[in-house]
Structure 1
């Protein structure tokens, strides 16, 4: 898979030239497990490692997997308070490995998925510190000075949520496998509830704990925010709704695709996350449930897209099982949030 996804050797020559070290002519590549959309490889030469991101092999949905946008926003955030890697190399032509890609520095730290490392954030106080730091990082993203970062034209924020609903509905139609689904029902109920225009900020698009790297010795420090492929200018509540979707509490169903480490004893719940965000940004949470329901719609579509890519062999041999129940239960939970709103 590495050879197929990374071209015929031109990559290594380009890396050697860019990084000024011929050791990259004989580098190793390892697919990093966990990526369900773009493919992420760790490239190693001697004692140095870098990270390469590229789209999945095979056919991809229109507008998805835009490497250029991802590299641009990471580069723009370098001087800001948002912790990001350094972009080392970018190719938008697709000539080198058969698809656009970029290479970034490897950020040191922990990616926390299904469990906490032994001895890390053992106490409720440390888990709260980790939670607060994550939320504060999201607030920092949303309050970036877009003009200073050169991101004023990074998206079309007006009409953002209506456009998001249309986009994810189109993705659903492109990936679905037939039949009437709660996903259709959720999309129809969301349409009249989403705001025409909300607040404007830089939106990450998939902000959650395991898309960040945390200092291995300090749960109060995030060393890097990763996976910017869906970033744009838009309504920051879209990010908050997604974070709350990912933030599982004790007693919640265990998801098939995403980690549930926050369901461990000692982690604050979703209400704490929302209130911390409001305290950091001054946001009014009155309409938050609509965004939470939209997050369920979006993730149901994402799950269906993953299922379609697995079936087509475009996920580097990764297999996540039958996702039809996950798609349906995610949409049903979103309907429940709306109807309790």
Structure 2
């Protein structure tokens, strides 16, 4: 988590950032007399860039897209900003949003500013082990319950009725991730064509639509000192659609084993419930039919493989900031194989 001085932050020229915020952040805790700014890149993200900016006494979080190779439908700052703003006041904890700038001339890309929430994005089992199995189980249970809370929010009641097109969501997802793969492919991938064909041939009837996070996992949550979920982060792929895609992606994150030393393994900590219990708790609390979960897991594997291949592409072209990107590419084909197995009932 390298700290940069003013004017030396990759993707975040602090002088231009300050001028824009002082001019446009009405209502934000950003007085004209704020002291000299410093920033650091927050580790952990593999897609959008996240910075902590401070004037020495207060801090803010800034989010912007990667420095290069931005796909047309990815890294939408206004989407993240809108959904978090809409969810304020619901049962889903989100940071307070302060300012959205869609002018790419300021930082070279759109960005937004939000509250810095205190909490821990648990990523590794070694971080959770000191808490003990009982606390780990409680955190995991709240993670599942928060997902159910999200899927219970009525989009129309929070101003998100037009946030997506739920009808035909699964079919479009299969098509979209194939298109994204073609746009980021840097090599031949064994299993990609087979998994895509299986997904096309096995699309089930869709679950009743809801707000979908798109990348729900433990390290995209901030857990407070009281072990409660303090904030849900990283909404760049949020939309309206089939909420079982969120559950399936969470299951894939829990079960995957890859050659990457950068992968999160928090769900292997003692006390964390196995996938079967996660499915049972979600089913009981949501009342949704999970009989086609194999398809959703296959789709989640395909989606995560495509995202990983895109990160691998940017890494090869020197367009990433931070560490841990060198091994991401090795995770792609194992994910494709896991997706094929899920569609075949394994």
Normalising by the residue count of structure 1, what TM-score does the alignment of the two structures yield? 0.93
* Aligned partners of 1:201 and 1:234 also within 8 Å: yes
* Aligned partners of 2:129 and 2:269 also within 8 Å: no
Instruction: Give 1:144 deviation, angstroms.
Output: 0.5
Instruction: Give 1:254 deviation, angstroms.
Output: 6.1
Tell me, which stretches of 5 or more residues in structure 2 are unaligned?
none
Aligned match for 2:312, one of 292, 303, 307: 307
Q: Does 1:183 align with 2:192?
A: yes
* Aligned partners of 2:305 and 2:331 also within 8 Å: yes
Q: Report the CA distance shift for 1:49/1:193 in structure 2 as closer, same or farther (over 3 A).
A: same
Measure, in 2, the Cα distance between the counterparts of 1:263 and 1:254: 16
Measure, in 2, the Cα distance between the counterparts of 1:266 and 1:300: 28
Q: Does 1:215 align with 2:241?
A: no
Q: Does 1:272 align with 2:282?
A: no
Matching of residues 50-61 of structure 1 within 5 Å: 50-61=60-71
Normalising by the residue count of structure 2, what TM-score does the alignment of the two structures yield? 0.91
Instruction: Give 1:116 deviation, angstroms.
Output: 4.8
Instruction: Give 1:253 deviation, angstroms.
Output: 5.2
The match for 2:251 is 244
* Aligned partners of 2:64 and 2:109 also within 8 Å: yes
Measure, in 2, the Cα distance between the counterparts of 1:196 and 1:276: 22
Measure, in 1, the Cα distance between the counterparts of 2:14 and 2:60: 19
Q: Does 1:114 align with 2:128?
A: no
Instruction: Give 1:148 deviation, angstroms.
Output: 1.3
Measure, in 2, the Cα distance between the counterparts of 1:71 and 1:194: 31
Aligned match for 1:35, one of 27, 32, 45: 45
Instruction: Give 1:212 deviation, angstroms.
Output: 0.3
Aligned match for 1:293, one of 281, 293, 298: 298
Q: Does 1:5 align with 2:11?
A: yes
Listed one character per residue, the Cα deviations across residues 237-294 of structure 1 (whole Å, up to 9, x for unaligned) are 0000001011138xx5565553011112222100011111011100111111110111
The match for 1:14 is 20
Q: Does 1:62 align with 2:72?
A: yes
Measure, in 2, the Cα distance between the counterparts of 1:323 and 1:212: 21
Matching of residues 88-237 of structure 1 within 5 Å: 88-117=98-127, 121-123=131-133, 125-179=134-188, 181-195=190-204, 197-216=206-225, 218-219=226-227, 221-237=228-244
- Greater displacement, 147-156 / 15-24: 15-24
Measure, in 2, the Cα distance between the counterparts of 1:324 and 1:5: 24
Tell me, which stretches of 5 or more residues in structure 1 are unaligned?
none
- Greater displacement, 308-317 / 135-144: 308-317
Computed over aligned residues only, the root mean square deviation of the Cα atoms, in angstroms, reads: 2.0
* Aligned partners of 1:304 and 1:324 also within 8 Å: yes
Where in structure 1 do 4 or more consecutive aligned residues deviate above 6 Å?
A: none
